[in-house]
A and B are shown apart, each in its own frame.
Chain A
Amino acid sequence: MINIAPVRKKLTVNASQSRAFAVFTADMSRWWPASHSILKSPLKECIIEPHVGGRWYSVGEDGSTCQTGYVMVWTPPQALVLAWQINPQWQYDPGLVTEVEVRFIAEGAETTRIELDHRCLERMGERAAEARDAVDSPNGWDKILESFRLFAAT
């Protein structure tokens, strides 16, 4: 069993707790980096359906969609936990659940501290091992490399 430390991020924003939560969730299309999409078509929208079990997905300009995960915890305006189900082959994988928890902590009327944890990353390795023989994707690494390239270019 491999353990991988969670990715942890903290930042403070000049916005109220409720506005920070609303922009993060309802307005994700306005800020999610367009380069960070696994759709073939340019990214048009990023949607989080605002309830537990709601889908988290992106929509391309050609109308194609790709799911990223789903809502596990929904407690506006304090916190949400999203399932991130993109595997190291850069594909949506319903059998994989890694967790992204985002907490919005009010530090003042117009100041909010945001803490993000992306955890259970070791599941990517377990899943990759399980999927290795069943689903051998010849394009897997090409897609990852393309993503690296896009990422490096931003």
Chain B
Amino acid sequence: MAYQSAFLALADPTRRRVFEELRRGPRPVGVIAARMPVSRPAVSQHLAVLKKAGLVRDRAEGTRRVYYIDPKGLASIRIWLDQFWDDTLLAFKRELEKKDVT
């Protein structure tokens, strides 16, 4: 499930910080790493996990690789809402069909 992988990917605080850096705009690994207390290879690994979770994409810009937030990552919000409404409507149905106890 996409929302689960997005959840797992962002559960790590360092990875969440990498993701937050990308909220400012597209960035290459080096620029992100310069603002973080972890090494550049570590940032690359975090980006790979975020990419696999569908939260981040990358593209070549000249000789370097730039990472950016995948706008389609909104799909995870949609999946979350889909389950949210299943759950909510089930609660509604249960209440509506509850036998009167009076």
Contacts and interface: CB of A to CB of B under 8 A. Distances in A.
Interface in B2-48: 3-4, 7, 10-11, 16, 19-20, 23-24
B81 A7 contact: yes
B102 interface: no
Contacts of A9: 85-86, 89
B84 A11 contact: no
A125 B93 CA distance: 31
Interface string A111-131: 000101010011011001100
A110 to B, nearest CB: 10
A26 interface: no
B95 to A, nearest CB: 4
Q: Taking chain B's interface residues, is the majority helix, strand, or loop, or is none over half, making it mixed?
A: helix
A20 B89 CA distance: 12
Nearest to B94: A31
A19 interface: yes
A148 B79 CA distance: 11
A39 interface: no
Contacts of A145: 7, 10-11
What size tier do the contact residues of chain A reach? 35 or more
Contacts of B4: 152
A80 to B, nearest CB: 13
Nearest to A98: B81
Contact of B85 (A7, A19, A30): A7
B96 A133 contact: no
Nearest to B92: A31
B89 A141 contact: no
B95 A23 contact: yes
B63 interface: no
A107 to B, nearest CB: 14
A27 B96 CA distance: 10
Contacts of B93: 11, 13
B87 interface: yes
Nearest to A33: B91
Top 5 nearest A-B pairs (CB, nearest first) are: A31-B95, A148-B7, A125-B74, A31-B91, A7-B82
Given A121-B77, A124-B74, A152-B4, 10 more contacts: A4-B75, A7-B81, A9-B86, A13-B93, A14-B96, A27-B95, A31-B92, A121-B74, A136-B23, A151-B84
